[in-house]
Amino acid sequence: MMVQVVMAGGGAFFGSIGRYALLQWAPKWFGKASKWMVMVINLSAAFLIGLAYGLKLGDVASAFWMAGILGGYSTFSAPIVELVDALQAPSELPVVVGKTVLAFAGGLPVLMAGIWVAQNL
């Protein structure tokens, strides 16, 4: 059990760095479209978690990849921060609410798609 805890923590370190880097580089790469990066990260994390689940990784590998790297990579707290920020700019609120709903509601079908892909490789 302790091995899984350490692996999850180590994976989270790398996943968080990857997420932070993407969020920092996104404006340079995608301009105004970078505002959608949080949603892209969350939906891609859901898909990759589904893929990892479907591959039936062992306990240690699951802790590292799913809870660690992909848990650290996903940003499900970031939409809440975006919502708070949008309260200061009400014109942005409808788009931010839409992205938040899409990120949370879109997670389940994308997760299921990842499982399906893994089972059909």
- Nearest-CA neighbor of 60 among 118, 117, 9, 113? 9
Domain that holds residue 9: 2-119
Among 32, 26, 5, 121, which residue's Cα sits nearest to residue 75?
A: 26
Q: Span 35-61, mean pLDDT? A: 90
Averaged pLDDT for residues 28-52: 90
Number of domains into which the chain is organized: 1
Q: Tell me the pTM.
A: 0.76
CA distances to 59, 81, 83, 97, 99 from 94, in Å = 41, 15, 10, 5, 9
Angle between helix 2-30 and 37-54 (nearest 10): 140
Span 59-97, pLDDT tens digits = 999 999 988 999 899 977 677 767 777 878 889 889 888
What span, in angstroms and rounded, lies between the C-alpha atoms of 115 and 92? 34
